[in-house]
Every structure is written in structure tokens, then in C-alpha cells.
Amino acid sequence: MLVIGELINGMYQNVEQAIKTKNRSIIHKLAKEQLEAGADMLDINAGPHGADPKETMRWLIETIREVTPAPLAIDSTKLDVVELGLKLAGEGSMINSTKADDEKLDIYVPLAKKYKAKLIGLTMDKKGVPRDKNVKCELAAKILAKCMEMDLPLEDVYIDPIVLPVNVAQAQCAELLDVLREFKLISDPPPQTVVGLSNVSQGTKQRSLINRTYLVMAVASGLSGAIVDPLDKELMDAMITAELLLNKNIYCDSYIDAYRKR
């Protein structure tokens, strides 16, 4: 399971503040804590408010690189910010993300290849997020076909079926689990999948419980990566236990410690 820590995001007040005041220690702490808690990769988002997102991305990555060489997921809708991020972060980074439109794929797939980066492909296009699971599968197949055509290794491609909040689109939660299972039929070996988990509990009163319950359900449906808050210990423990019960790791009495010792 690829665990991507979501906490370095200018949308959060503490990070926004750190960016404004150039407080490096807040970013250092967030990077180290997430990795210690079991994150494999850190998502980096300059946030919605900054005047110069490129400069913010540069500062964030350079600040993180002072404490860790861990791979980074460059989270931006702006192409120049993504490219700068990939350049600074080095090989093994991730592009978060591209939509499934041809004109987007024609840019982002070669970009991922050029920087030896992983790529998150969203099953949505300029028409928006499809409700119909068949359309989601169709878009997933389109993304994968494009990657194959352009020689991007499929193990570097993560399909994101887009989690919607339970209090906005309740029926979509169960539907998405079906989609995860159906994605497996698209290719052999099956494509990798990722979700932005916390979205499911947006605006609810039980965020942590909803997040971890849904994560376990998604893992059981074949999910292979998730953007999460790794400092939510109960969430991480539930995920580690779900993977154990699916026979992905070998049991021992201290299996939770063992996971963190990887």
C-alpha cells in the first residue's frame, strides 16, 4: 500500500502560516512526523491563496529536502508548478494529478516519463466527475491506453476514481468500491489505484471514524494507494490490520510495529 501523507498543503492554516512567515521548522516537523508514522511519500500543495505558487513550491521542496530525501507527490493543477516540482524533487516523484482529457494526457504522460515520475490519472474530464461507473472505467482504460502508447510503465500509473463526501453523494461511496473491483479487469496485471481518502468525511462530525472505515473497505476492494493523514494513528493501524487480514504481510504479535520498521 502506497501511503501518501497529505499534511503539507497550503490549504491548512498551519502550513499557510508557515509559508507566509517562512517558518521552516513547521514544515520540517510535518515531513518527519508523517514519514515516521508510516507515510511512503509526501504530498506537497502550495495552497490556493499564495501570489506565487511556483515560488511557494520551490520553498516547500527545498525546505523538505533539508530533512528527508523521501519521494514527493507534486499536487497542483498548474503545469509550470508541477514541472518545477518534479525538477526539484528528483526521480521517483509523483504528479498529482491529470484529468483524462486527451489534451491533458498528451502533456502529463510525457512529463511523467521525462522525470521518471509516477502519475495519478483522475477518472474525470472537462465534463466533470462521471456518476456512472461504466464511464469511470472507460476513462481509466483511456488513461492506461495512453500511458501504454507513450511507454510510461503501468506500475507507475495510479488511477483515482475520485472519492466524494458521504454527506454530498452517499450512493457514490458504495459505487466507488465496485469501481475499484472493476478496474482490476481492465488490465493484467491490474492497474494501481489511489484515492484522496479524507474527502469522504468532508464536513461530517465523525471524520476519523468515517475515514478509517472507508479505507478498510477500499483496501479490501483492491485499493493500492491512498492520500491520507498518517498522523491519524487509528487510521494507520486499521489499514495495517486490513492488509494483514488480506495476507499481504506475514503475521506476528507485533505486526503493527513490524510495519513501521519496514
Partner 1 sequence: MALELLKERWSSAINVLKVGAVKEEGGTRASAITVGGQTTLPFLLDEGGMPHRPVVAMEIFDVAPLEWPVSLLEPFGDAVKDPVKWAKKCINEFKADLICLTLKGTHPEAENISADKAVELVKNMLKEISTPLIIIGSGDKEKDNDVLARCSQATKGENCLFGLAAQDNFKTLVASCMADDHCIIADSPIDINIAKQVNILITDMGFKPEKIAMHPSTAALGYGMEYVYSIMERSRLAAFVGDKMLAMPFIIFVGQEAWKVKEAAANVADEPGWGDERMRGPLWEAATAVAMLHAGADILVMRHPEAVATVKRSIDSMMKGNND
Instruction: Give the separation between CA 31 and CA 46, rounded to whole angstroms.
Output: 15
* Cis ω for the linkage preceding 97 (within 30 of 0): yes
> Per CB under 8 A, which region of 13-21, 135-143, 232-240, 247-255 contacts partner 1?
247-255
* Neighbour-count burial for 160-183, b at 16+ CB within 10 Å, e otherwise: bbbbbbbeeeeebbebbbebbebb
Nearer Cβ to partner 1, position 217 or 258?
Answer: 258
* Among the residue ranges 105-113, 166-174, 193-201, 246-254, the one whose residues contact partner 1 (CB under 8 A): 246-254
User: Cell 506565487 maps to which residue?
Assistant: 52
Only one of the segments 11-19, 50-58, 104-112, 254-262 lies at the binding site for partner 1 (rule: CB under 8 A); that segment is: 254-262
Number of residues located near partner 1, criterion CB under 8 A: 10
Q: How far is the CB of 253 from partner 1 (least distance, A)?
A: 5
Nearer to partner 1, 171 or 252 (CB): 252
User: Which 158-197 residues touch partner 1, going by CB under 8 A?
Assistant: none
Query: By CB under 8 A, is residue 103 in contact with partner 1?
Result: no
Q: Which stretch binds partner 1 (CB under 8 A): 16-24, 86-94, 138-146, 250-258?
A: 250-258
80 vs 155, beta carbon nearer partner 1 = 155
As a whole number of angstroms, the distance between CA 71 and CA 93 comes to: 5
d(CA 196, CA 185) in angstroms, rounded, equals 22
- CA dist 235 and 7 (Å) reads 15
Instruction: Round to the nearest angstrom and report the end-to-end CA distance of the chain.
Output: 12
How many CA atoms within 13 Å lie on the side-chain side of 147? 29
- Tell me if 51 contacts partner 1 by CB under 8 A: no
List residues near partner 1 by CB under 8 A. Answer: 249-254, 257-258, 261-262
